[in-house]
Amino acid sequence: MTSQRISQGFLITTAVAAAAMMLTACGSGQAQPQSQGTTAPGTESAKPAPTSAAPSASQAPTSLATTGPTGPSRCKAATLSAATDATGGGAAGSVYMTLTLTNTGTEPCLLKGYPGVSLTADANGAPIGAPAKRDESTPVAEVLLAPGQGGKAVLRYTHAENYTDCALTPAAGYRIYPPEDTASLFLPQPTQACGNAGIELLTIGAFQAA
């Protein structure tokens, strides 16, 4: 009887042990879920590699080429004064004068090209006869005028009395238009003009540094 009980107990113990082994085997075959965002102790968490993003419109750099000044502006009649110097003498019934335009403003300005010059009856009068013809023997130059500085051009006047077909008309002086300006200066200098526009009494050169 005792032997039979021992045998039965051994069978029961063996069966329990076998069942426990099967449960252990099944448990070890299942993947253990890992919590996202955690790492094993003693290790650093992995960081994503930095990515470069294109700057937004508000972050885009400003082009210096579009923000800086473009240089000195053209000299205008409002900030110029006019004078002549007839010491150049005359030849063949003509008088050569140095026409000088001086910067009377507070900023530098650029004088470039040929002025428009005509004889006129008075400061507000219309031109008399033909305007000055350009003398292109002197090349055009860029003349930068600081405040108080002047640029010069050669003005030639041919005596109206030299022309037998000239309709003599008294002129009070010269109306002078700076290059690329629609406003003018009046330079008082009484002389004789020809009322007929077919006779050219004046020639003018390009401005040069004084």
Q: What is the pLDDT of residues 190-207, one digit of tens each?
A: 999 999 999 999 999 999
Q: What is the pTM of this model?
A: 0.65
CATH of 77-209, picked from 2.60.40, 1.10.20, 1.10.287, 3.30.410, is 2.60.40
Give 145-202 as a 3 state SS string: ECCCCEEEEEEEEECHHHCCCCCEEEEEEEEEECCCCCCCEEEEEEEEEECCCCCCCE
Amino acid 86: pLDDT: 65
Q: What is the pLDDT of residues 149-166, one digit of tens each?
A: 999 999 999 999 999 999
Task: Tell me the average pLDDT of the chain.
Answer: 77
Q: What is the pLDDT of residues 86-123, one digit of tens each?
A: 655 666 689 999 999 999 999 999 999 999 999 999 98
Q: How confident is the model at residue 75 (pLDDT cuts 50, 70, 90)?
A: very high
